[in-house]
């Protein structure tokens, strides 16, 4: 596993993992479209295939993803119309079990919903996202209903580390769901599943950035090529 000081993946490396992901979901008719830098590389590659005549529909995990897909001519559907055969997304941390921390871009709740609705999830990352233990970046996003913010801040501190309200330009960051995000100062997470359960006991919590047991395949873009990691049975 790479140290957190590893430089971010280059655009060329992300393009390679996007191409590999495209090959892995060649027959899919409905694809969940993730959010973030790696997912954007995949969406652009998929858009090129649509332009060349491929028939496929996408389920977006954020408003930004939906806008990009429309610009590229990818038809979109909601979960009321179809369930994705596969979702392709990025991650902020990946541990050796292929458990994840996601949500630095703020789309964690919709990303989880689309991933769980899918038959399988493919994650695209650079080597800098690989960590020996989740919590290596000392930041765990938790989406909160705004009304519950004072209570949730107090209750989360002893569970997940001191929370900081995410802000942009001096104002609270607002998710596509109209909620706010607390970034919790977690250290190494010994038991991600137990922590996930504990956080959800706090009133007002909508979702966390812990994605445990969801990813099926992780594609890592490296200078020498693409490394493929698969979840062990």
* Lowest mean pLDDT across 3-12, 137-146, 196-205: 3-12
Q: What percent of the chain has pLDDT over 70?
A: 97
What pLDDT is attached to residue 174? 98
Mean per-residue pLDDT for 1-29?
84
Residue with the larger pLDDT of the pair 11 and 208: 208
Q: What average pLDDT is seen over the chain?
A: 95
What pLDDT is attached to residue 6? 74
Chain segment 116-142, per-residue pLDDT in tens = 999 999 999 999 999 999 998 889 999
Burial of residue 64, with CB atoms counted within 10 A of its CB: 0-12 exposed, 13-18 middle, 19 or more buried: middle
Region for 204 from its dihedrals, namely left if φ exceeds 0, alpha if ψ lies in -120 to 50, beta otherwise: left
Contact assessment for residue 74 and residue 47, using Cβ atoms and an 8 Å cutoff: yes
Which of 185, 211, 233 has the alpha carbon at shortest distance from 34? Answer: 211
Mean per-residue pLDDT for 27-38?
96
- CA dist 10 and 7 (Å) reads 9
What pLDDT is attached to residue 1? 43
Active site members: 111
Give residue 210's pLDDT band: very low, low, confident or very high (50, 70, 90). Answer: very high
The DSSP element (H or E) to which 143 belongs, if any, is: strand 140-144
Give residue 8's pLDDT band: very low, low, confident or very high (50, 70, 90). Answer: confident
Domains and CATH numbers, the chain: 11-132+212-230 (3.40.50.1360), 140-207 (3.30.70.260)
Which of 206, 208, 215 has the alpha carbon at shortest distance from 140? Answer: 208
What pLDDT is attached to residue 5? 61
Region for 202 from its dihedrals, namely left if φ exceeds 0, alpha if ψ lies in -120 to 50, beta otherwise: beta
pTM here is 0.94
Chain segment 51-85, per-residue pLDDT in tens = 999 999 999 999 999 999 999 999 999 999 999 99
- CA dist 113 and 150 (Å) reads 26
Residue 2 has pLDDT above 60, yes or no: no
Chain segment 41-52, per-residue pLDDT in tens = 999 999 999 999
């Amino acid at each position: 596993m790479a140290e957190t000081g590893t430089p971010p993946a280059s655009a060329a490396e992300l393009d390679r993992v996007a191409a590999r992901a495209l090959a892995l979901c060649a027959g899919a008719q409905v694809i969940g479209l993730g959010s973030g830098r790696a997912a954007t590389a995949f969406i652009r590659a998929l858009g090129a295939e649509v332009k060349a005549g491929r028939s496929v529909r996408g389920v977006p995990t954020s408003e930004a993803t939906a806008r990009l897909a429309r610009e590229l001519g990818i038809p979109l559907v909601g979960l009321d119309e179809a369930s994705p055969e596969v979702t392709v997304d990025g991650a902020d941390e990946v541990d050796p079990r292929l458990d994840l921390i996601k949500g630095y871009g703020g789309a964690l709740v919709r990303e989880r919903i689309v991933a769980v609705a899918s038959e399988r999830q493919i994650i695209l990352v650079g080597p800098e996202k690989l960590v020996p233990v989740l919590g290596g970046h000392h930041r765990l996003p938790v989406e909160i209903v705004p009304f519950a913010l004072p209570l949730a801040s107090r209750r989360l501190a002893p569970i997940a580390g001191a929370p900081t309200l995410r802000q942009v330009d001096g104002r609270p960051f607002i998710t596509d769901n109209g909620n706010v995000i607390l970034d919790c100062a977690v250290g190494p997470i010994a038991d991600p599943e137990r922590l996930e359960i504990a956080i959800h006991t706090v009133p007002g919590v909508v979702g966390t950035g812990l994605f445990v047991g969801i990813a099926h395949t992780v594609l890592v873009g490296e200078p020498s090529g693409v490394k493929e990691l698969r979840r062990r049975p």
